Amino acid sequence: MSMSSRTRPGYCRQDVNKTTWEVPEQYRELKQVGTGAYGTVCSAVDFRTGTKVAIKKLHRPFQSELFAKRAYRELRLLKHMKHENVIGLVYVFTADLSLDRFHDFYLVMPFMGTDLGKLMKLQNLSEDKVQFLVYQMLKGLKDLKPGNLAVNQECELKILDFGLARQADSEMTGYVVTRWYRAPEVILSWMHYTQTVDIWSVGCIMAEMLSGKPLFKGNDHLDQLTEIMKITGTPTQDFITKLQSQDAKNYVKSLPKVQKKDLQELFSKVKPQAVTVIECMLLLDPESRVMAAEALALPYFSEFREPEEETEAHPYDHSVDNSDLSLEQWKRHTFTEILSFQPQVVESRETAL
């Protein structure tokens, strides 16, 4: 029997929806919970710890240089993320014993149960839940749309797919088009992006959680912009001057003048403090929009605040991600990252005393 057909010691094979998964024996009860263009996710139970995990198997990660680069980047970003509101990596493994036989690898992450998009369809969220969820979004702020926000039964939220969201829009499964949550400057490529493109997304999601329906439901890019301006009002001359393209300036000038809506009236049943948060986030001018740190300091979040816990992420080194490497080089880098992975040891509180 050749080595390639034999399973690695300590691993077992399981068939999930006509696909063979080769996983360490500690992972049992695999059930498919999602699939997209780049991979399939199963829930599983880790029998050593008794915890439920999500395991992602990438679809043929080394079929091309582009796929290999994407797979490497996803692994690196997940290894890098150590924030309680961003999905990080519990473990990574491959059943392939050597680089020349390396074809597949698996990413193990915490299992969350649902995403915010599904949760909003299932129930009207109470205001205190909205408050807690938005607080967590701001703490772990990255590319946001409701399908990217995983939630568990304790209403704890983690951001999924950090850093891959802007490329993976075509892969949206299970939730509406992300255009509804996109900042106006992204829709029309008006100006350089800043962190506040994500603040706009939080504002849209928060408004939807409080009202039960999406705030800006555009049918296409220009319709989206029209919907936005019905609420924000048409831009001021100062703002038009900042636009980088002459086409954008001409287009915005051609729009019929609309007055800004009073959000306190629009959300009359919602606490005024909550509406203030939305107002700071949904400003057309990205430079005027509130930053995550400033938003966290607003009175609306004061009961949750533990500023010492609001950690800034360490800078992420993009140097290898941005290089043009051959398929074999990406493969070697990925294999090295898997071998060097150190699982975090989480001590239980009792034993740490």
Rounded CA-CA distance 277/301 in Å is 10
Judge whether 198 counts as a catalytic residue: no
- The secondary element (H helix, E strand) that includes residue 52 is strand 51-58
Cα dihedral 10, 14, 19, 20, rounded to 10, equals 30
Rounded CA-CA distance 331/327 in Å is 6
Beta pairing, strands 19-24 & 11-16 = antiparallel
Beta carbons of 34 and 42 less than 8 angstroms apart: no
Task: State whether residue 28 is helix, strand or coil.
Answer: strand
CA distance to 59, 176, 213, 225, 323, per residue, from 181 (Å): 28, 10, 12, 11, 31
- Catalytic residue (one of 46, 143, 161, 198): 143
57 belongs to an annotated ligand binding site? yes
Enzyme catalytic residues: 143
Q: Summarize the annotated binding site for ATP as residue ranges.
A: 57
Q: Summarize the annotated binding site as residue ranges.
A: 57
